[in-house]
Amino acid sequence: MTTYAPTPISATKRSFTAALCLSAAMLMGGSALAAGASDTDTERLERWQDIAKSIFGDRIIEPTDALIKVDAPPRALDASLVPITLMMPEKDRIAAVHLIIDDNPSPYAAHITFGPAADPSEVKLRVRINNYTNVHAVAETKDGKLYEAVKFVKASGGCSAPMGMSDEEALKGAGDMKMKFAEGGQGKPTEATLMVRHPNFSGMQMNQITRDYTPARYINKLDVSSNGKLVFSMNGDISIASNPVINFALAPDAKGPIKVVATDNQQSRWEHSFNTPTPSN
Amino acid sequence: MIRSIGAASIALAILSGAPAWAASPADSPVNVPEPEGFWTGPPKAYTPKTLTGATVVDIDALDKLVAAEKPVMIDVAMADQKPVGFPTDRPWLPAHRSIPGSVWMPGAGAAPMAPAREAQFLARVADLTGGDKTKPVVTFCHPECWGSWNAGKRLLQNGYTRVYWFADGVEGWQDRHDTTILKVDAAWAAKPAGEAQR
């Protein structure tokens, strides 16, 4: 563990190269790879193409610097709790985002669809990362087009990392929720942070004593609405970190109580309501 | 001087107490004792700094060894477990990234191990080393993964004289070098001889 030397340049270069390769490959109809790419770049690009095809079929995904950006620490402190920020500056054009962690065995981490009560300019969530990987964010615009951004993240072992407590203990209070608000001021979106207590067992975590794998149990759907209007709906996966936390923003005109409905893959369902802060100015 | 003797006797006392802890994980990464035989405790736990009879290598030493001698590289990291009931409409695409040129034998560091499976492991290593037990062999998996320690131990017990344990594993490698996606070694993936009918 003494050999860690930060190499942010190569990390940046790598994801940049991957993005370049991708755009080049797409210009050539996806059949050829850019010359000069290393074996690893080629391998990573091919994997992304396989994943993209399994999720989006033959739909074209264009690279973008404007419609979506993905940010994450280049080297994560805890691979089972990696903060990801998705930024969609042209928020009025955004219908949905997809988060894909290329090298996770289950790469499709989240699909978030925004509703009329959302301000989709920024979403933050925490994920598990299994290996040094490209993280792809794909924005879906209201006219049905797909745009992608990529970031290389160094983290390892996040999907199988045990929680350090018994399964029963980890499940205690599952479905409890909290929500915090940070008011943006007059006419600005209200930022909200939703915290859900749930171990989000990945099914890849081995109980170190019994050597059994803890069965997968994770939040697979999260619906948030404001006064009956959809803020967002998220399809989640085992790549979402335990005790999911998601930051999002409400449209300035979104009023009334926020309702959250969460379900997990074991058919448990939880529903909570939160009052939005009353405007103070 | 007196102080150092005192420290030595404390160390001895700790070592002599080691067998009693052999199957329970150390609660600190400092001075983890070597078990007498194989490690049969939790597969992911703090590992010792040593493997008696083997050379423990860091990435610098491994780089030199690889450049000089092309050792046989054996990755014993476990394969990703597909969650039971994983939805069929989502992609499940496990990819094991490892040191290029390595042979991936997931679970080859397990202990105890069925005799037929152990024989299969040793036969495969004999094949990879051309039957030369003086050829350098590197075992690795991940940090705090006892599998590669056990695999190295298994080779030592079977007469291999140049066993190298790369304790930092894939993570130690990928900090400096590219990795590649490996498939499970075909010979290791096959059922051991005598179990073919199962």
pLDDT the model gives residue A37 = 55
pLDDT the model gives residue A129 = 95
B44: confidence class by pLDDT, cuts 50, 70, 90: confident
pTM as predicted: 0.83
Cross-chain residue pair B83–A108, CB shorter than 8 Å: no
Cross-chain residue pair B91–A130, CB shorter than 8 Å: no
Beta strands in B81-152 (DSSP E): 96-98, 103-104, 137-140
Of B43, B44, B83, the CB nearest to A216: B83
Of A43, A107, A213, the CB nearest to B180: A43
pLDDT the model gives residue B59 = 98
B177's CB contacts (< 8 A; 6+ apart) are B99
Give the amino acid at A86: L
pLDDT the model gives residue B179 = 93
- Per residue in A84-110, pLDDT tens? 999 999 999 999 999 999 999 999 999
pLDDT the model gives residue B173 = 96
A34: confidence class by pLDDT, cuts 50, 70, 90: very low
Numbered residues of chain B with Cβ closer than 8 Å to any chain A Cβ: 25, 42-45, 58-60, 80-87, 90-95, 97, 142-143, 168, 170-172, 174-176, 178-181
Are the CB atoms for B56 and B50 separated by under 8 Å?
yes
Angle formed at CA B168 by CA A16 and CA B158, multiple of 5 degrees: 135
Q: Does A141 touch chain B (CB under 8 A)?
A: no
Contacts of B181 in chain A (CB under 8 A): 43, 47
B27: confidence class by pLDDT, cuts 50, 70, 90: confident
Residue B108 predicted with pLDDT over 90: yes
Cross-chain residue pair B93–A50, CB shorter than 8 Å: yes
Mean pLDDT of A192-218: 90
Mean pLDDT of B180-191: 94
ipTM score for this prediction = 0.79
**B110: helix, strand or coil:** coil
DSSP, residue by residue, A214-266: PPPB-EEEEEEEETTEEEEEEE--TTBPSS-EEEEEE-TT--S-EEEEEEETT
Cross-chain residue pair B82–A213, CB shorter than 8 Å: no
A209: confidence class by pLDDT, cuts 50, 70, 90: confident
Taking the C-alpha atoms of residue A80 and residue A116, their distance in angstroms, rounded to an integer, is 32
pLDDT the model gives residue A154 = 93
Residue A62 predicted with pLDDT over 90: yes
Taking the C-alpha atoms of residue B142 and residue B145, their distance in angstroms, rounded to an integer, is 5
Contacts of B179 in chain A (CB under 8 A): 40, 131-132
Taking the C-alpha atoms of residue A165 and residue A86, their distance in angstroms, rounded to an integer, is 31
pLDDT the model gives residue A210 = 78
Distance from CA of A277 to the nearest CA of B (A): 38
